[in-house]
Every structure is written in C-alpha cells, then in structure tokens.
Structure 1
Amino acid sequence: MSNANKSDRDVVLVEGVRTPFAKAGTKLKDVHPAELGRTALQELIARSNLDTEVVDEVIIGNTGNPSDAVNISRVVALRSGIPLKTPAFSVHRNCASAMESITLGYEKIKSGTSDVIVAGGTESMSQLPLLMPPAIVEIFGKLGAARTTGQRLSVLGQLLKADLKQIVEMVTTSPFAQTPHKPRISVMEGLTDPFKGINMGQTAEILAKEFGISREEQDRFAVRSHARAVAAQKSGRMAEEITPVFLAPKFKEVVSEDIGPRDGQSMEQLAKLKPFFDKKYGTITAGNSCPITDGAAMVLLMSREKAKALGHKLVARIRSYAFAGLEPERMGLGPAYSTPIALKRAGLDFKELGLVELNEAFAAQVIACEKALNSDEFCKEKLGLSGKLGEIDPEILNVNGGAIALGHPVGTTGTRIVLTLMKEMQKRNVQFGLATLCIGGGQGGSVILERED
C-alpha cells in the first residue's frame, strides 16, 4: 500500500533521541529522572535545530512519580529551555506511559489543537523509594505532634522498639514479605498486579505454561537479544539514537552506551540461573527477563504542514495506534490484542509490516505473542478474527535486540521502541513498522509507522 494519501494534518516524527539505558543500581543510579529527561530533551532540541518557541506542549510518561517533581514533564521542560508559556503534563499507563505520551500528542495534532509536540518518557527505577509501613508512620506522626522534651523522648522510645521489631522481621521473613514494621519496597509493589495479587514474573509463568514454552526456548531468545544488541553497539547503529550522560558532581565520567547487553552471552551461562518466580516448576529467570532499568527518551512530533513550513526532514508518519485490554494475569499477551486493531485502523495487512519492535518484558511473553498471532484458534476465539494474523519473521523482530538486553525503564520504553523503529525503518528502507508492548494490569499498546521519503 502506498503512502500517496498525504494530509497536512498527518502526524509525523521529525527526530528522536534517548539516554543510554543502565541497569538499576549501576551508573545512572544517582541521576534524577528529571535530569535524565532534561539530557534527552536538550539533545532533541539540538539535533532537530528546534525553535522552542513553536512547541505547543510537552508530554512525558513516568511511573515513579518522584515526590520532588510530581509533574515531572513540567520540570524537564523548563530545565531544558522550553518557554514558560508552554504547558506540560505527565502521563502514566504503566509500561506504555511513554507510548501514551506519543499517542496523546498524535491526537492533539490530528485534531488541530496543536502543531508541535514533544513526547517522551523518563524513569529512574533505582530511585523508586522504600515506603514506611503504617506502624512506623504513626510513630513519626506522634513525634511531629509532641510538644515537650519528655513527650519526644517517649515517642523516640516507641520508635526504638519498632526499629528492633523491624530488624527481627527482616531477618526472619523473606525479603519481599510485607510485615508490620519492614519498609515496603515500592518497585516490587509496582510490579505486582493489585487485582490478581501476582507479580509480573508470575504472569509470564502463566503464559509459558499455557503456550508450552520451554526454558531452552526462552534462553535461546535471550541469547539472541544480547547478540543483536551487542552487534548494534559495535556497528554504531545504536549510538545514533543515544546521547551521553555526564555524571555529577565532577561531570568527568560519561555514560555513552547501554549498560546491559552482554557480549558472548551463552546458553550455558543462562542455564545456570534458577527460576525466580516459581522456584520449583518455573522457567522464568533473571536471564530471560528484562532488568529493572534507568533511562529517558524523547521524540518530536509535528503536523506535516508545520514540519514542511519549518524545513524539517520527515522521518516517519504515525499511521495508527491502538490500546486493548485483557486479563491482568495474561498481560503479556497485550500486543496480540492491540495489534489487530491498529492494523485495521491503518488499513494494512500483517504481512505488510517490514519491522517489528515488540518489547521484551520476558522472553516467554514475546514468544507467547508470536504463537498467539500465528494461531487460528487464538485469533478466532480471543480476537474475533476470521483466522490467524500471521507469523512474525524473526529477521524483522527486534533487530537491534530488545529489553532483555537493553532494559525496560517502565515509563520510558514506549518511546524507546518507537524511536528505534523510526530510525531503523529509514536505514532499511522499510515502508511500514510496528512498535508494540504489553502493559501491566492487562493491556496492550501498538503504534504503526509509515516511513517518509
């Protein structure tokens, strides 16, 4: 299908850039998510030679919602030199937060409300806090209300007793068990579905069992992800979408590439890892899952008319998008639900896709999506289609590796996969591409791009 039907209100991607992604607790652990966002946005402005006066709005995805930057989009915008007059807001759709920022920008431009939107995401999973349990919070409340030294000493005595109980609980219970006095680990709570009471890894175990996905199959997929990511690093292809981060306080140390891809990752190494979520019967390990990660990504959206008027090169047009819901315990199948809707809206057949970026939350989850989309039974019964959508050619799937190697900063990944897709479509002269991901809570999100000449 040609791209002859062009409109001034078409929403086009003009440029995109991201920071390196780093496993939580490593090189970027002390970099505030607002600073990660600023780094990416300022580079986006520089690369696109953007006059910031023309930006209508800034929309940034984030799931951690830092208490010192609750509308982090506004903080990032102002620190990046976006004018005071330009509004900004933050969005949260779990793993698709930074895809939601793009699709909201799409709607604003398509409707004529805006012409130029900065969209993206930023996340520091290293800085997700430990939360005081209610028993400890109550004591601090009493301390704040105390008026005399005697009252304060009395409350501090209660705090000391609570601290001792906390130590006992930390020694005698599992690290993730909730007890009256132990701090709550927000990253673990955030990765646990409140409707079903299971964490994301357990949802992947469900899919592995239901689709008969072996441990070997998952590990083989993980090895491929690392190999492709390393190859993209060595060739310089990955560097084209990355801007370095200079580390405070001296700003002499520089992080210039992703910290995650492992050169020489082997099946033998992965086979040594034990199942993490179902220790007796499971197949999901740290090696065939994505790591918790820090990073930011930004893209520049414009109407076709505005981009041409300003003299910008058009990289890709957003042809369509879709979100869909499903059972929270099978959230990993989200792309199988949202992709047919996006294809229908784009007026495309599955076989017309030349590149696919499918986020690798877990190897089992990606493989399950592949199996589901290539199943007559699944597509008829679950999706209401006349037959299977088709098989994803492994040669077009995550060609530069995916989140198993690169990482998955939850509030950022939605933009990262769109960014990677738009640039790779240009390099490979691919007309249509799909960026899609599963979303915690039981959703899927898909965006279809069309390359601009």
Structure 2
Amino acid sequence: MMKTKQMRPVAIIAGSRTPFTKSMGLYSRISNQQLMTATIRNLVEKTNLQGQRLGDVALGAVMKNASDWNLARESVLGSALDPHTPGYDVQRACGTGLETAWQIGLKIASGAMESGIAGGTDTNSDIAGVLPHRFSWIMMDAQKEKSVLGRIAKFAELRPKDLKPKFPAVVEPRTGLSMGQHTELMVQEWGISQLEQDKIALASHQNADKAWKAGFFDDLVFEFKNLKKDTIVRGDTSLEKLAKLKPAFDFTGKGTLTAGNSTALTDGAAAVLLGSEDFAQKHNLPVLAYLVDAEVAAVDYVAGEGLLMAPTYAVARMLRRNNLKLQDFDFYEIHEAFAGQVACTLKAWETEEYCVNRLGEPGALGSIDRSKLNVNGGSLALGHPFAATGGRILVSLAKMLAQKGSGRGLISICTAGGMGVTAIVERP
C-alpha cells in the first residue's frame, strides 16, 4: 500500500535550446540525437551539473527515425551527466515538450526524486524514407527459404512499387487532411478573417524581434553549428506584406491561411531543468518560477469538432480545478501553430454558447488582454520544432515571471490528433 505524501513545489530552474531554423536548411543532415544531446550538454554546463546523477530525463520527438528509438537515454549518455541518470521517450505530438515537463514535475512533487530534465527535439531535415511493408514481408519470407532457388523465387515477387520509399507526412490519418486544411475549416466555422490572422502573425514577429534585440534570449539560446539566433523572425514584415501572400492550404478562393500566418516547418531542440527547492538550494541555482498544474484534453475532430480546439477544454478544466478565472494571468503563452488557431481559441472562450454547451461552464470564460499574449514572440516568428516547443515556452515564461518578480502565466498548446496540453506557471 502506497503512503500518502505531501506534494512539493516543482521549481523551474533553467533551460537551454538551439536556435530554431527552417527545415531543409542550416540543420540538414543533423539528427534528432545530435540536436538533443547538444542541448542537454549545454544545460548541464550552464548549471554546473557535470557528473551529477539526476532522477530522470524525459525527452521526445515527433518525426522520429528508427535510430531514435531510445533517444532520451542516448542523449543522456552523450551529455556530461552521470551515466547512471536514466532517460525515457515521450510523444504527445506538438505537446511533447510540455508533457515531459509535467511528468518529470509530478515525480519531483511526489518526492520520488529531486531533479530531472524535460524537453524535446524535432528535425524535418533528417527524415528517413521507409520502404513499403510488402518489401519487408518478402525479405522475411525469403530468409525462411532453405534453398537458393526458393529465395530467388521470393525475390522475384518484388515489384518496382515495393522499392519506392515513403516519407512521413504531417496529415491526420483518419481524415487525410493536413493540419493547415483542418485549421481552414476552423477559421471558416468561427468567421476568422485573414486580416485577423495576419495581425496575430505581425505581433508575433514584432515581439520576437524586440525580444532578441533586448537580449531576452541570450541566456536561453546557445550557439549551434555556427548559428547564434533564430532565423525565422521577420521584424520588418508588415500587414501589407502579409496580405499579399497567397493561400497555402485552401485554393478554392475561401482560403485565408498563408505562409505568413502559418508556422514554418522548423528544426531545433529545447530542454528544461526542474527540481525541488532543496535541490536548487543545494546546487546554488536560482528558481525562476514554479510549475503549478497541467491538463490534457482531446476533441472528436472526426465528428466535426475543430482539430486544434482541445486546449479550450483543457484550460477550462484547469482553471476550474485551481479556482481561477481566465483573466487571472500576467502572461499568456498560446502556441501559434497557426494564427487562425489562436484566433479561434480566443473567440471560443469569449462565446457563451460554446463555453456552456461544450466546456460545461456557467458562461463565457471571457477575453484576455492581448498585450499579455506571447509578449516575446510565438511559434509563428520563433519557429516550431514540434517536440521542442513546450520546453521553449516553459522556460521563457518562467524567465518572464522571474524578471517581473512575481505573477502567473498560462500555457496552451494544441497538437495533432485533436489534443491539447496546458499548464499554469507561477512565481509567488
């Protein structure tokens, strides 16, 4: 029988990430393991934890090769941590980085361990093509044959199409639609214009550009492969430039999602060090903020619910559990998979019918102060290496709260498969 333990505060201590860059470019032929190992190594160096054994390391990637099957453990072994530090893989699509932090945080909160690292990586520039299953089946059948003639006969069954490699595609298996096509359906349902989406994209780039120039990311992003900063940020963009871009997913004349208000395919990695207050004090490490709570949710997008609307459910449940209102936050970090997704989410929280009938609330959750939204830029400007985004957001938000001195922040991340991962971060 397990003993009941008092849950402890979970400290967000430090974080590191590579610069984020567009896929098929500067990080071509760089593997997930290389990205993740370099990030863990940098985090260990900046916190002086070389040779230390941590409680656990949870990492993930969405676009995995077969060689990534034990990514977390191999990344640990390539870092300067004590090799007795364990590691395990997690995958919850774009919410992977935040999910790993929640899992590590729960272990620390329960007293099961004192410290751990969470994070994730993704590269679309090192994806391996996979031969069709029929090729593998014929090869296995050939191995079972006892004679050379029998094997040759099996090989003869191969057809040219069996030798054509398949590459991963960012589409929903149950609908065959890309995430962008699903978001087009969402913005049409909610009546979101291209102008509204472009305004969100413009703010993301302007805020990110301002943050880089102010030095906000200097201690969070380390130089990797001669790259010192994110390459997607466009501080000189404008509504006029964004308005000229053509639809990227819907070509019927109704499309409003463009390359400017949709996240670019991105390569990069991020990691966060979490620990108990005792661990931070013992190692003379300052606490940035605390991971207070998290929630996951899912929608039935096949039945018509918007693919990326699950965070609306998760946030509502989390607020209810913590006796908070949507307005009780100093910062809002809403992942910008698409500007349209952000706009739909905000509009849903403002709509009484949706909140009552879908979320089970007594009324609308209400509006947020847009000046508090993604104040140092979001995924549209900084980039979105799928599994790395949660770590990027978590440590940035923790630093913002540390700079402010106190406060509360909300994280909302939509994911493939119709899921959402959300969290509350505080600094007393």
Question: How high is the TM-score relative to the length of structure 1?
Answer: 0.86
Aligned with residue 288 of structure 1, among 243, 261, 273: 261
- For 1:53, the equivalent position in structure 2 comes to 52
Q: Secondary structure at the match of 2:117?
A: strand
- For 2:379, the equivalent position in structure 1 comes to 403
Moved more, 280-289 or 11-20: 280-289
Contact 1:15 1:300 in 2 (8 A): yes
Q: Secondary structure at the match of 2:282?
A: helix
Residues in 1 aligned to 2:44 and 2:344: alpha-carbon distance in whole angstroms: 39
User: What code does the residue aligned with 1:322 have?
Assistant: E
Residues in 1 aligned to 2:21 and 2:49: alpha-carbon distance in whole angstroms: 28
Q: Secondary structure at the match of 2:293?
A: strand
Give matches, 1:421-436, under 5 Å: 421-436=397-412
Residues in 1 aligned to 2:50 and 2:316: alpha-carbon distance in whole angstroms: 38
- For 1:206, the equivalent position in structure 2 comes to 185
Give matches, 1:344-423, under 5 Å: 344-423=320-399
Contact 1:291 1:404 in 2 (8 A): yes
* 1:305-341 deviation line (CA, Å, top 9, x unaligned): 3322333211111111111111235132122111122
Contact 2:120 2:271 in 1 (8 A): yes
User: What code does the residue aligned with 2:201 have?
Assistant: A
Instruction: Tell me the percent identity.
Output: 33
Q: Secondary structure at the match of 1:342?
A: helix
**C-alpha deviation, 1:348, in angstroms:** 2.6
Give matches, 1:246-257, under 5 Å: 246=225, 254-257=226-229
Residues in 2 aligned to 1:232 and 1:148: alpha-carbon distance in whole angstroms: 68
Matched, 1:183 2:177: no
* 1:343-400 deviation line (CA, Å, top 9, x unaligned): 2333332222000111000110000011111222211111111112121211110111
Residues in 2 aligned to 1:345 and 1:117: alpha-carbon distance in whole angstroms: 26
Query: Kindly tell me: are residues 352 and 131 of structure 1, through their superposed partners in 2, closer, same or farther at Cα, counting changes over 3 Å?
Result: same
Contact 1:230 1:263 in 2 (8 A): yes
**C-alpha deviation, 1:432, in angstroms:** 0.2
Matched, 1:274 2:253: no
Query: Kindly tell me: are residues 137 and 285 of structure 1, through their superposed partners in 2, closer, same or farther at Cα, counting changes over 3 Å?
Result: farther
* 1:11-56 deviation line (CA, Å, top 9, x unaligned): 1111111111111111112221111112211111122222542411
- For 2:422, the equivalent position in structure 1 comes to 446
Residues in 2 aligned to 1:97 and 1:113: alpha-carbon distance in whole angstroms: 22
Residues in 1 aligned to 2:234 and 2:143: alpha-carbon distance in whole angstroms: 50
**C-alpha deviation, 1:415, in angstroms:** 1.2
Contact 2:49 2:81 in 1 (8 A): no
Moved more, 229-238 or 110-119: 229-238
- For 1:25, the equivalent position in structure 2 comes to 24
Contact 1:323 1:443 in 2 (8 A): yes
* 1:67-90 deviation line (CA, Å, top 9, x unaligned): 223110001111002222221101
Residues in 1 aligned to 2:89 and 2:259: alpha-carbon distance in whole angstroms: 31
User: What code does the residue aligned with 1:46 have?
Assistant: E
Residues in 2 aligned to 1:297 and 1:205: alpha-carbon distance in whole angstroms: 29
Residues in 2 aligned to 1:64 and 1:228: alpha-carbon distance in whole angstroms: 29
| Aligned CA-pair RMSD | 2.5
Contact 1:8 1:305 in 2 (8 A): no
Contact 1:61 1:98 in 2 (8 A): yes
Query: Kindly tell me: are residues 275 and 157 of structure 1, through their superposed partners in 2, closer, same or farther at Cα, counting changes over 3 Å?
Result: farther
Give matches, 1:321-336, under 5 Å: 321-328=294-301, 330-336=306-312
**C-alpha deviation, 1:144, in angstroms:** 6.9
| Unpaired runs of at least 5, structure 1 | 1-6, 167-179, 247-253
Aligned with residue 197 of structure 1, among 176, 185, 190: 176
- For 1:340, the equivalent position in structure 2 comes to 316
**C-alpha deviation, 1:123, in angstroms:** 1.4
Q: Secondary structure at the match of 1:125?
A: coil
Contact 1:11 1:301 in 2 (8 A): yes
Residues in 2 aligned to 1:235 and 1:309: alpha-carbon distance in whole angstroms: 32
Give matches, 1:98-113, under 5 Å: 98-113=97-112
Query: Kindly tell me: are residues 282 and 141 of structure 1, through their superposed partners in 2, closer, same or farther at Cα, counting changes over 3 Å?
Result: farther
User: What code does the residue aligned with 2:233 have?
Assistant: P
- For 1:244, the equivalent position in structure 2 comes to 223
User: What code does the residue aligned with 1:276 have?
Assistant: A
- For 1:264, the equivalent position in structure 2 comes to 236
* 1:194-247 deviation line (CA, Å, top 9, x unaligned): 23332211220111011100112112221221222122222221223101103x
User: What code does the residue aligned with 1:65 have?
Assistant: K
| Unpaired runs of at least 5, structure 2 | 1-5
Give matches, 1:68-83, under 5 Å: 68-83=67-82
Q: Secondary structure at the match of 1:106?
A: helix
User: What code does the residue aligned with 2:198 have?
Assistant: D
- For 2:203, the equivalent position in structure 1 comes to 224
Residues in 1 aligned to 2:365 and 2:35: alpha-carbon distance in whole angstroms: 38
Q: Secondary structure at the match of 2:390?
A: helix
Moved more, 136-145 or 289-298: 136-145
Q: Secondary structure at the match of 2:241?
A: helix
Matched, 1:319 2:292: yes
Residues in 2 aligned to 1:203 and 1:18: alpha-carbon distance in whole angstroms: 30
- For 1:176, the equivalent position in structure 2 comes to none
